[in-house]
Structure 1
């Protein structure tokens, strides 16, 4: 797993996140900021399993969602948990058993991250 984690973390960039401009501007300064959706989909494509999703609460309102993985063995894996500011919290956690929808708006960032991770794992 550490090889996959290193490949994912080294592949993040400003063209692989999928989040609103407001969310990114409020940022935590972490490289993982806004990378959760694309990262969770790449991890799912490599390892299988399901996705977890929770609403991100900021100043009393929902301001986005956060994704992470549950492996086929039931282990929760969240490579982007460190992206949140102290004022943000996760609420309404739930499991999503469906896979990636190829018509999603985040398709290009996902494809870029998937290609970079695959290249990093080959090297």
Structure 2
């Protein structure tokens, strides 16, 4: 695929995110990253490699949500962190794979996540041309 910049990939992702790629039923144009973490982490891994990690985000009101992001060359790369309000805290990130070989396989074993990933993957590929 050739080398691409993280910024170009982030721009393509932001443009490709929509309600049908989000896991959140209350996705909005104002918070395009909301519910996009698992599918985005998989697309980022497609282009930039690395590992997908999981953490639990605790929002300021106390609600907790599972969150995925990438570890690339020893650095956390979270292209959906903008979805969280200030004051959100996170547990120590780690792989989450259950009976699967990787966190990616774990994420994509869910049919709905896999469908959302395929939609996002195609949209990003079109934008990266």
Structure with greater contact order relative to length (CA < 8 Å, sep ≥ 6)? 1
Task: Give the corresponding residue for 2:30.
Answer: 29
Tell me if the contact between 2:53 and 2:103 (Cα under 8 Å) persists in the aligned partners: no
Tell me if the contact between 1:37 and 1:67 (Cα under 8 Å) persists in the aligned partners: yes
Q: 1:51 to 1:121 in 2, by over 3 A?
A: same
Task: Give the corresponding residue for 1:100.
Answer: 104
Q: 1:80 to 1:108 in 2, by over 3 A?
A: same
User: What root-mean-square deviation, in Å, do the aligned CA atoms of Structure 1 and Structure 2 show?
Assistant: 2.3
Task: Give the corresponding residue for 1:120.
Answer: 127
Q: 1:109 to 1:6 in 2, by over 3 A?
A: same
Deviation at 1:99, TM superposition (A): 4.4
2 CA distance for matches of 1:45 and 1:117? Answer: 11
Tell me if the contact between 1:54 and 1:90 (Cα under 8 Å) persists in the aligned partners: no
What is the TM-score of this pair, normalised by structure 2? 0.76
Q: Whose strand proportion is higher, 1 or 2? A: 1
Gapped regions of structure 1 (runs ≥ 5): none
Task: Give the corresponding residue for 2:83.
Answer: 83
Gapped regions of structure 2 (runs ≥ 5): 97-101
Deviation at 1:69, TM superposition (A): 0.8
Paired residue secondary structure (2:33): coil
Task: Give the corresponding residue for 1:69.
Answer: 70
| Counterpart selection for 1:18 from 10, 23, 34 | 23
Paired residue secondary structure (1:94): coil
Query: Once the two structures are superposed, what CA deviation does each residue of 1:29-52 show, in whole Å capped at 9, x if it has no partner?
Result: 321111111111110122111112
